[in-house]
Homo-oligomer: A and B are copies of this chain.
Amino acid sequence: MSIITLASHSSLQILHGAKKEGFQTEIVVDKKRQSFYKRFPFIDKFHVYSNEDEAVSLINNIQDSIFIPHGSLIEYIGMERVSKIRIPIFGNRSLFPWESNQEKKMKLLELSKIKTPTRFSDPEEVDRTVIVKLPGAKGGKGYFVARSKGEVKDGIRRLLDKGMVNDQREIIIQEYVIGIPMYFQFFYSPIFRRVELTGIDIRYETNIDGLKRLPSWISQEPSFVVAGNIPAVARESLLPAVFDYAESFVATTREVVPPGIIGPFCLESIVTENLDVIVFEFSGRIVAGTNLYIDGSPYSWLYWDEPMSVGRRISREIKLAKENNRTSEVTT
């Protein structure tokens, strides 16, 4: 049996972990990136594509395998094509459309009684500082901060002009919560019926995280493009609350988007000075911040007495499911 994923994002981690769990590993890779991935001996088989349609048909021709979706899958090949993947997917494929729609996404969080930033569906309603975001996982490209409805409208107009967005309704306008970002990475295990905290990270964004190093007399428009991640831990006293969030979120998805979250997800949060955790977004698949923890995170070591990346954790879950004839509980 083989584990297969699309090259990029966290594919090295996913396949490295799969190999450690004893699976055959296969990668579906853009021909331009093929030579890069050939460097890594834990990748057994290469399926090279020239265009996205070919990627899907390659995936569908791999026998006896499970496909692992990651945070860039939809950005790379598009929702339409993802829906054509016919081999088993680890996780809940019904969640994909929810993840691609900011309205529905925030709805799931709100139904879980998780604190979220105030949303404004109409720029006209904006009465405080907001952050304006584009749909899809474009790594923060085009995001901007605005302090008034006028600035929001001007910014949206620029995005439409540049063709970075097609329809104003795709845009999400959120209260800009003041505090520090923390990304809480979780894993829901149907096998153990438990939520595990697999790590915490901070995104390292260009150019915003460089601007603070500039002299104040240089005025430069900030951008929020994620280029990497930095590890962190949280105060232990924050953890009970974020675990409550995580479990409540798992329960909500089980009800609203059955069979609910399976495997990795991430609650993307701001921690305020009152130590409130405000979740402004979630990911329903493995996030790139887990790449920090190939040898385990400060939290994974609390569960596992061996190095356990999220990539490996996925394959461990599949292996345990297989051994117990419960594969249907972890794939869709």
Residues of chain A having any CB pair with chain B under 8 Å: 8-12, 16, 32-33, 35-36, 39-40, 42, 72, 129, 139, 141, 145, 147, 176, 178-182, 194, 200, 202, 204-218, 220, 222-223, 225-240, 243, 270-273, 275, 288, 291-296, 298-299, 301-303, 307
B180 touches A204 (CB 8 A): yes
B231 touches A235 (CB 8 A): no
A206 touches B9 (CB 8 A): no
CB distance from A298 to the nearest CB of B (A): 4
**Which of B141, B211, B235, B294 contacts A139 (CB under 8 A)?**
B235
B207 touches A215 (CB 8 A): no
A178 touches B301 (CB 8 A): no
**Which of B129, B141, B202, B272 contacts A207 (CB under 8 A)?**
B272
CB distance from A150 to the nearest CB of B (A): 14
Q: Evaluate whether A227 and B235 lie within 8 angstroms (CB atoms) in the complex, with A147-B217, A181-B210, A292-B298 already known.
A: yes
B230 touches A230 (CB 8 A): yes
Secondary structure call for the A interface: mixed
**Which of B206, B215, B273 contacts A145 (CB under 8 A)?**
B215
Apart from A145-B215, A233-B292, what 4 extra A-B contacts exist at CB < 8 Å?
A147-B215, A225-B273, A291-B298, A294-B301
Q: Which residue of B lies closest to A197 (CB)?
A: B39
Q: Which residue of B lies closest to A42 (CB)?
A: B302
7 A-B pairs in the complex with CB atoms less than 8 angstroms apart? A36-B240, A72-B237, A145-B214, A178-B207, A179-B206, A180-B204, A225-B275
Q: Which residue of B lies closest to A237 (CB)?
A: B8
CB distance from A280 to the nearest CB of B (A): 12
Q: Which residue of B lies closest to A301 (CB)?
A: B294
A210 touches B180 (CB 8 A): yes
